[in-house]
């Protein structure tokens, strides 16, 4: 257990530039405190003590804002950053060097018995407010974007964004686990592609209209009405996905 605590301390020094000293981490990091107390309650849970592990877990929740069931299995070097609102269910398994931000839930999806909470392999990063639900498996080196809801298995070396979570593979690209701004904007990319396609089709229709008028194919009805189009310059679109100028800054 002491080796695990040493790893938990070291990972905070490595990943948090605000961590300045030993006593600051011990006294002022609720994530470290929650995991440290959990390791004790988990030992007691394995000895089948009836209520003491749950009381210790409840005290940890009151002290740190992090709720970890004493039955959850947590590896070495796990860092819960800030921690407030984190919930980790009974059958959850968290691998070595995982990083969880505030508001993360590793929860179940029903009243089924057995393995009903997720398994996170090593080096998984779960962004703020993300929900990982059910007895699913999250592969090594996976990154889950803030606010995402994941309900299906995810292969290793993937990035998951959205509700429900969608997988974006990033083969061969190594990204800093703290770089949330590097997450892809899947919805924005789809909308941009659709708007580009609409602009292309409308330009094609206008070309056909000019060709018809030029050759007097349709003399009775020369005007073909096309409603005012939306494109990437429209305010509503820019407000939702941002302008191309912002992306280049």
102 and 21 together in one domain:
yes
Whether residues 112 and 235 share a domain: the answer is no
Do residue 138 and residue 56 come from a single domain?
Answer: yes
**30 and 132 belong to one structural domain:** yes
Q: Are residues 94 and 131 in the same domain?
A: yes
Question: How does pLDDT run across 7-49, given as a tens digit for each residue?
Answer: 777 777 777 777 777 888 788 888 888 998 999 999 999 888 8
**Which of 136, 165, 182 finishes a domain?**
182
Which of 164, 182, 200 delimits the end of a domain? 182
> Same domain for 126 and 31?
yes
**165 shares a domain with 71:** yes
Q: How many CB atoms lie within 10 A of CB 228?
A: 5
Per-residue model confidence as pLDDT tens digits over 87-128: 999 899 999 889 999 999 999 887 777 888 999 999 999 989
Last residue of a domain, one of 161, 182, 203: 182
Q: Beta-carbon neighbour count of residue 219 at 10 Å?
A: 8
Domain shared by 20 and 128, yes or no:
yes
| Residues 130 and 15 occupy one common structural domain | yes
Give backbone dihedrals phi and psi of 222, rounded to 5 degrees, phi first. Answer: -75, -30
Residue linked to tokens 């179940």: 108
Q: Are 145 and 160 in contact (CB under 8 A)?
A: yes
197 plus 239 within the same structural domain: yes
Considering the domain architecture, whether residues 85 and 158 belong to the same structural domain is answered as yes
Statement to judge: residues 176 and 154 lie in one domain: yes
- Whether residue 130 contacts residue 124, with contact meaning beta carbons closer than 8 Å, is answered with no
Nearest to 38 by CA among 81, 108, 87: 87
* CATH code assigned at 127: 2.160.10.10
* pLDDT score at 88: 93
Q: For residue 187, give the H/E element and its range.
A: helix 186-214
What is the span of the domain harbouring residue 174? 2-182
Cα separation, 166 vs 185, whole angstroms: 11
Number of domains in the chain: 2
**Residue 249 — very low, low, confident or very high, per pLDDT cuts 50/70/90?**
very low
Model pLDDT, residue 114: 82
Cα(198)–Cα(202) distance, integer angstroms: 6
pLDDT of residue 196: 79
pLDDT 10s digits, 218-247 = 555 555 555 555 555 565 555 555 555 555
């Amino acid at each position: 257990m002491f080796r695990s605590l040493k790893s938990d301390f070291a990972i905070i020094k490595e990943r948090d530039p605000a961590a300045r000293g030993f006593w600051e981490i011990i006294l002022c990091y609720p994530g470290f405190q929650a995991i440290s107390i959990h390791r004790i309650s988990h030992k007691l849970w394995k000895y089948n003590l009836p209520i003491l592990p749950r009381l210790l877990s409840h005290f940890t929740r009151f002290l740190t804002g992090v709720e970890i069931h004493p039955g959850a299995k947590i590896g070495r070097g796990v860092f819960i950053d800030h921690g407030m609102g984190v919930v980790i269910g009974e059958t959850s398994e968290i691998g070595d060097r995982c990083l969880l931000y505030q508001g993360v839930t590793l929860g179940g999806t029903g009243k089924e018995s057995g393995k009903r909470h997720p398994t996170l392999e090593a080096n998984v990063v779960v962004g703020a407010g993300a929900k990982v639900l059910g007895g699913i498996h999250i592969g090594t080196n996976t990154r889950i974007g803030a606010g995402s809801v994941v309900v299906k298995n995810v292969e290793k070396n993937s990035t998951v964004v959205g509700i429900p979570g969608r997988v974006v593979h990033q083969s061969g690209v190594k990204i800093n686990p703290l770089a949330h701004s590097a997450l892809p904007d899947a919805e924005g990319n789809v909308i941009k592609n659709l708007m580009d396609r609409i602009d292309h089709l409308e330009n094609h229709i206008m070309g056909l209209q000019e060709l018809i008028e030029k050759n007097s194919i349709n003399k009775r009805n020369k005007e073909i009405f096309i409603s005012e189009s939306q494109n990437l310059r429209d305010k509503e679109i820019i407000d939702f996905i941002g302008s191309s100028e912002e992306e280049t800054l």
